[in-house]
Structure 1
Amino acid sequence: MSASTTVIATAADITPAWLTQVLGDSPRITGDARVADVVATRIGTGQLGTTYLLEVTYADGGVGKPARMVAKLPALDPANRALAASLACYSREVAFYSNLAGTLPIRTPECYHASVSADGQDFCLLLEDLTPAAEVTQVEGCDLAHARAALEQAAALHAGSWRDPALAEQEWLLSALPVWQQMSAALPQAQVAFRERYAGLLDDTTIEVAESVAGGAAARWVEQLTEPRCLWHSDFRLDNLLFDASGGRVPVAVVDWQSVALASGPVDASYFIGAGLPTEVRREHEEELLRGYHDALVRGGVTDYSWEQCLAEYRVNSLAGFVISVVVSIGTERSPEGDALFTTMAARHAAHIKDCGAVALLEG
């Protein structure tokens, strides 16, 4: 599955002839894969991409071949699409499925096809359909059972890539740091636009943290990410996790690898706990969840990362989710769903930053 300069970009391009060709080229499809018909139905509410459920009819009946799969394509909105391309989201996700997905001890959808245009504007992924899955949304938050299951997957991702020298040689994984530097540099102006955009929808803590983080804390936080210790999903949240997938056969599957990178610490744990649960639930069970995550790292073979180091980095890394929520939100088209997502995440991450004393830690 290599990158290509000729890539489809819309659901209308997914024709029986095109699908026959790419499935015929896929090493994961055996035998003849002549497609007689395909029906695409829009699913999901992704901000930086669009997804479709494909129902496929094969000329020979399709025994042993996927009758349903998910197609992931560029965002329909030009602004969202331009933002994704500027952050190399599409090329990064294609590289992940082409080079890494099969080497990690985590559950991701099987990939039948992955391609991206030379300019990074167009891409197409054909992925295993893992529906039906439980309805667990970022805005509502999850329960403790789902949180524990998610953190087990985060620990598997981190432990399975811990200090792997081969990963440090892949330039596309290292190229994410300049993006975060740009995001942190943009935060002082972005938080002003964020507060104006969502005036009347933000609580006092969110406004307070927006001002304090913009004072330089975000830039100092990015400096903590320079050591390439392990893989970092970078958007490890409920909307990118499929619980009880395939009708319960898959406990948790991790999707949306548009921001995967190498980082110094397991930022995903702080990002997930910070906004994956309602704030009061997070406060009550935070240490229990983080200790469970650290125990899973140790079981996965990590021997050079103490609980004290994990806790210290967890507190500082609480800034990650807030930076993402603020900067990404103002580059996307507004919608009721988007407004609910970004304001909810910002509020929970702001409370997390304040509870962790992250700004003071970075200034100390």
Structure 2
Amino acid sequence: MTEPMQAPMTDPVVKQPEPDWIGEVLGTTVKSLEAKLLGEARGFQSTTWRLELSCDPPGAGPASVILKSETSDQDFNAFSRLNNAFGREVGVYTHCTPRLSNHQPAVFATHAGEPSWLLMEDLTHLRSGDQVIGLSYQETLASIQRMAAIHAEFWMDPGLHQHDWLPNHGFWFSNPNAEIVEDFFATYGVRFGPDVCHLYRAVLEQTSAVDAAMEDRPWTLVHGDLRADNLLFAHTVEDPESVIIDWSWASRSVAAIDIAFLVGGSTPQAQRLGRHDDLLLAWHQELVNRGVRDYPLSEARYDMQLSALRCITAGVAMHGFSRGPDTPIRAALFMDDAIQRHAAYALEIDAWAALPDPSGFPLRR
């Protein structure tokens, strides 16, 4: 029998996988369990275990579950609590996803206090997205269509205003640290080239105006961190079905922010160049098919460009994270890729057109 993997005893924020309390919340008796720590190089804001359960009587509970708790990394845990990341995720699974048909994962129990945790359906049999490799066009399209279905369900829903755990435009990348901007350009300026740098600096200068423009746009429930590492895939590689996980950065905001963040940060240029209109049309058509009205394609295109401007500043935030001495190699690699992908994406879709002050544009090609 494998003993549960323990977080440091000085870390009370990590919920330990123990048979008694797990059996209690599942409404059964768990005689024993085996715990395997998952995704150590992927998750920043959580500690995640896969638990194989031995229940009494056999079959009285699920054979395995996923336990997601807060992280033992003090810096990321402080950041998570400052932004109520677990409160948001618990809120989504408690109040929002029950409205979605066939939504995965199912959630057995949650706790938004300290330590925060979720006990969820085990979906480790599905194929995980990989932020370093990136998404194929087919994976991107499947994820866009799945996210559009969620956007449509909560489109301009006044009930979202009733949830005090759900912020407006509460993104981890919306307020870049001005102190590291010049170091950021010293690191990436040569790789970006002059056109991207020009656009990037315009976004940083107009960041408050970009936020104000977003305030005036139609809104819905958004994921806020839609990227490859937060996706699972069923079926075949050629015809995948997407499952969206990790709602720690859920917000009430512009729907296109999810699509711009996904395509801009997780889809390599080789998979997206020449296909931007196809992806935009697929997302918009799914919204219309699911009942969204008075949202023409021209407005959707503007929102995508505006959202790409907001997402580009994720690069500065990621540059700040990646400079830490304890940053895992994989995390540094995927952030470096995402920084360059987001910057190129904004240029590819002419995001400059959504700048509140577009003087000095369009860019020369």
- TM-score normalised by L of structure 2: 0.84
| Equivalent of residue 97 in structure 1, options 93, 96, 112 | 93
Q: Per-residue CA shift, 1:227-281, capped at 9, x if unaligned?
A: 5621111111111111117999992211000011111343211111212221133
| Equivalent of residue 214 in structure 2, options 192, 208, 225 | 225
- Unpaired segments of 5 or more residues in structure 2? 1-10, 359-365
Query: Partner of 1:339: helix, strand, or coil?
Result: helix
Is 2:61 the counterpart of 1:38?
Answer: no
Write the distance in 2 (CA, Å) between the matches of 1:154 and 1:130. 18
2:151 is matched with 158
Is the 2:260–2:308 contact (alpha carbons within 8 Å) kept by the matching residues of 1? Answer: yes
| Equivalent of residue 191 in structure 1, options 181, 188, 202 | 181
Write the distance in 2 (CA, Å) between the matches of 1:150 and 1:314. 16
- Unpaired segments of 5 or more residues in structure 1? 1-6, 25-32
Is the 1:9–1:124 contact (alpha carbons within 8 Å) kept by the matching residues of 2? Answer: no
Change (3 A) 1:163 1:142: same
Is 2:38 the counterpart of 1:49?
Answer: no
Query: Partner of 1:330: helix, strand, or coil?
Result: helix
Is the 2:176–2:314 contact (alpha carbons within 8 Å) kept by the matching residues of 1? Answer: no
What displacement does 1:314 show?
0.5
Over aligned residues, Cα RMSD in angstroms? 2.9
Write the distance in 1 (CA, Å) between the matches of 2:180 and 2:146. 32
Query: Partner of 2:48: helix, strand, or coil?
Result: strand
Q: How many corresponding residue pairs?
A: 339
Write the distance in 1 (CA, Å) between the matches of 2:280 and 2:309. 16
The structure richer in helix per residue is 1
Which letter does structure 2 place at the counterpart of 1:52? W
| Equivalent of residue 260 in structure 1, options 218, 231, 250 | 250
Which letter does structure 2 place at the counterpart of 1:167? L
What displacement does 1:57 show?
0.7
1:146 is matched with 139
User: How do 1:49-88 residues align onto structure 2 when only pairs under 5 Å count?
Assistant: 49-63=46-60, 65-88=61-84
2:25 is matched with 22
User: How do 1:323-338 residues align onto structure 2 when only pairs under 5 Å count?
Assistant: 323-328=313-318, 330-331=320-321, 333-338=326-331
Is the 1:232–1:263 contact (alpha carbons within 8 Å) kept by the matching residues of 2? Answer: yes
What displacement does 1:155 show?
0.7
Is the 1:133–1:248 contact (alpha carbons within 8 Å) kept by the matching residues of 2? Answer: no
What displacement does 1:340 show?
0.9
Change (3 A) 1:359 1:240: same
Which letter does structure 1 place at the counterpart of 2:191? D
Is the 2:45–2:80 contact (alpha carbons within 8 Å) kept by the matching residues of 1? Answer: yes
What displacement does 1:208 show?
5.6
Which letter does structure 2 place at the counterpart of 1:204? F
Is the 2:33–2:54 contact (alpha carbons within 8 Å) kept by the matching residues of 1? Answer: yes
Q: Per-residue CA shift, 1:274-313, capped at 9, x if unaligned?
A: 1222113312211111111111111011111100000111
Write the distance in 1 (CA, Å) between the matches of 2:177 and 2:310. 12
Is the 1:132–1:246 contact (alpha carbons within 8 Å) kept by the matching residues of 2? Answer: no
Write the distance in 1 (CA, Å) between the matches of 2:335 and 2:101. 31
What displacement does 1:135 show?
4.2
- TM-score normalised by L of structure 1: 0.84
User: How do 1:92-131 residues align onto structure 2 when only pairs under 5 Å count?
Assistant: 92-105=88-101, 107-117=103-113, 122-131=115-124
Is the 1:143–1:277 contact (alpha carbons within 8 Å) kept by the matching residues of 2? Answer: yes
